[in-house]
Amino acid sequence: MTDRPTAVVTGASSGIGAATARALARSGFHVVLGARRVDLCAEIAAQIDGTALRLDVTDAESVTAFAAAIPQASLLVNNAGGAKGLEPVADADEDAWRWMFETNVIGTLRVTKALLPALIASGDGYIITVTSIAALEPYDNGAGYTGAKHAQAMLHRTLRGELLGQPVRLTEILPGMVETDFSLVRFDGDAEKAANVYKGITPLTADDVADVIAFAATRPSHVNLDQIVLKPRAQANAMRAYRES
């Protein structure tokens, strides 16, 4: 057992999730890292005195078992999610859309529902959901992802009202371009396509986003940062960025 408050991070095996687990541990949390690649979570957990648990947010039984192994928690970071494909609606791949809605939307719903009783019972609960600037506006070829991120954001933002009167804060983190394996997953492992996304730009790093999450998580209990949008200096919005040639 630990007297540190417990933070649960989904999608914690890499990228923003892994960086967030480290940043929260530095801020004094006992971090439970959940992801399908539990071996990677275990490596990080060993370094930060945390706990690694297998979690597949697309599998209801996995989420139930995950939550059952977490008797108490005061912070949940809904980070698991991602994009698959970048095609016009006319060419949309239904399986890719299904995956995006299942991971970003239903996955967030499942984990949030499963951990909400513990968060409320903590007396000072907190839900941070990593959506995206894709939750702010449409962009060409991105409807599957922007649609899923808008739906995930609605779930999160609706809770802000529904949980009024309960001891639970809610922060939505909306990152723009962050160099992680996000684009590699989006382009099905095509490293050249993924690298082109960040060409001529200094993108955010996973640590940049994690710093902001840790900042939010360490404000006093009466302070609720509702939404934080963060982008590289060179990015104005999802459709517009300045690239050095």
Please give the torsion angle defined by the CA atoms of residues 116, 121, 126 and 128, in that order, rounded to the nearest 10 degrees.
-20
Q: Which residue is at the shortest CB distance from ligand 8X3?
A: 132
Chain centroid offset of residue 2 CA: 25
In whole angstroms, the minimum distance from the beta carbon of 193 to ligand 8X3 comes to 13
Residues in Cβ contact with 148 at an 8 Å cutoff, skipping those fewer than 6 apart: 81, 97, 100, 101, 103, 104, 105
Which of 6/235 has CB closer to ligand 8X3?
Answer: 235
Which of 43/208 has CB closer to ligand 8X3?
Answer: 208
Which of 45/133 has CB closer to ligand 8X3?
Answer: 133
In whole angstroms, the minimum distance from the beta carbon of 154 to ligand 8X3 comes to 16
Selection from 59, 9, 4, 14 nearest residue 32 by Cα: 9
Count CB-CB contacts under 10 A for residue 24.
29
Task: Respond yes or no: is residue 145 known to be catalytic.
Answer: yes
In whole angstroms, the minimum distance from the beta carbon of 138 to ligand 8X3 comes to 10
In whole angstroms, the minimum distance from the beta carbon of 74 to ligand 8X3 comes to 27
Which of 40/229 has CB closer to ligand 8X3?
Answer: 229
Which of 25/133 has CB closer to ligand 8X3?
Answer: 133
Residues near ligand 8X3, by CB under 6 A: 132-134, 176, 238
Q: What CA–CA distance (Å, rounded) separates 85 from 187?
A: 6
Catalytic residue among 126, 139, 145, 242: 145
> Do 169 and 213 meet the contact criterion of CB atoms below 8 Å apart?
no
Q: What CA–CA distance (Å, rounded) separates 197 from 238?
A: 11
In whole angstroms, the minimum distance from the beta carbon of 134 to ligand 8X3 comes to 4
Residues known to be catalytic? 145
